[in-house]
Amino acid sequence: MNNADSISPRPGPGAARRLAVLAAFVLTVFAGVAKAADKPLVDWPEKPELTFGFIKLTDMAPLAIAYEKGYFEDEGLYVSLEAQANWKVLLDGVVDGQLDGAHMLAGQPLAATIGFGTKAHIITAFSMDLNGNGITVANSVWEEMKKNIERRDGKPVHPISASALKPVVKAYRDRGERFKMGMVFPVSTHNYELRYWLAAGGIHPGYYAPHRGDTSGQLQAEALLSVTPPPQMPATLEAGTIHGYCVGEPWNQQAVFKGVGVPVITDYEIWKNNPEKVFGVSEAWAEKYPNTHARVVKALIRAAKWLDENDNANRPEAVKILAKSEYVGADEAVIANSMTGTFEYEKGDERPIPDFNVFFRHNATYPYYSDAIWYLTQMRRWGQIAEQKSDDWYMETARDVYRPDVYALAARALIQEGKMKASDFPDFDSEDGFKPPQSEFIDGVTYDGREPNAYLKQFDIGLKGDQRL
Encode pLDDT of 354-394 as tens digits.
Answer: 999 999 999 999 999 999 999 999 999 999 999 999 999 99
**Backbone φ, ψ for residue 340 (5° rounding):** -105, 20
- Domain 3-130+276-340+357-367+403-424 fold is D-Maltodextrin-Binding Protein; domain 2 (3.40.190)
**Segment (H or E) for 167:** helix 166-174
Q: Where exactly are the structural domains of the chain? A: 3-130+276-340+357-367+403-424, 133-274
CA-to-CA distance for 158 and 106, rounded, in angstroms? 27
Same fold, 3-130+276-340+357-367+403-424 and 133-274: yes
**Alpha-carbon dihedral of residues 248, 300, 123, 3, nearest 10 degrees?**
70
Of 272, 271, 268, 264, which is closest to residue 148 (Cα–Cα)?
A: 264
Contacts of 148 (CB under 8 A, 6+ apart): 163, 164, 165, 167
**The pLDDT of residue 318:** 98
* Spatial separation of the C-alpha atoms in residues 404 and 197, rounded to whole Å: 30
Q: DSSP per residue over 98-130, as a string? A: SSSEEEEETHHHHHHHHTSSS---EEEEEE--E
Within 10 angstroms of residue 418's Cβ, the number of other Cβ atoms is 11
Summarised one tens digit per residue, pLDDT across range 112-139 is: 999 999 999 999 999 999 999 999 999 9
Among candidate residues 79, 94, 90, the one with its CA nearest the CA of residue 54: 90
Separation in Å, CA 60 to CA 28, 79, 96 = 26, 15, 22
Q: Percent of the chain beyond pLDDT 70? A: 92
Cβ neighbourhood burial of 429 (10 Å; 0-12, 13-18, 19+): exposed
Per-residue pLDDT of the chain (469 residues; tens, 9 = 90+): 444 455 654 433 344 455 555 555 555 555 554 444 478 999 999 999 999 999 999 999 999 999 999 999 999 999 999 999 999 999 999 999 999 999 999 999 999 999 999 999 999 999 999 999 999 999 999 999 999 999 999 899 999 999 999 999 999 999 999 999 999 999 999 999 999 999 999 999 999 999 899 999 999 999 999 999 888 999 999 999 999 999 999 999 999 999 999 999 999 999 999 999 999 999 999 999 999 999 999 999 999 999 999 999 999 999 999 999 999 999 999 999 889 988 999 999 999 999 999 999 999 999 999 999 999 999 999 999 999 999 999 999 999 999 999 999 999 999 999 999 999 999 999 999 999 999 999 999 999 999 999 999 999 999 999 999 9
DSSP run (H or E) holding 292: helix 290-312
Per-residue b or e along 116-132, where b marks 16 or more CB atoms closer than 10 Å to that residue's CB: bbeebebbbbbbbbbbb
pLDDT of residue 3: 43
CA atoms within 13 A on the CB side of 289: 17
Collapsed DSSP state (helix, strand, coil) of residue 2: coil
Q: What is the largest CA-CA distance in the chain?
A: 75
CA 366 to chain centre: 13
pLDDT digits (tens, 9 = 90+) for 232-246: 999 999 999 999 999
Q: Which residues pair with 342 in a beta bridge?
A: 352
Tell me: the pLDDT tens digits for 25-59? 555 555 554 444 478 999 999 999 999 999 999 99
Angle (deg, nearest 10), helices 290-312 and 404-416: 70
CATH code of the domain made up of 133-274: 3.40.190.10
CA atoms of 157 and 134, how far apart (whole Å): 16
List residues bridging with 225 in a β-sheet. Answer: 181
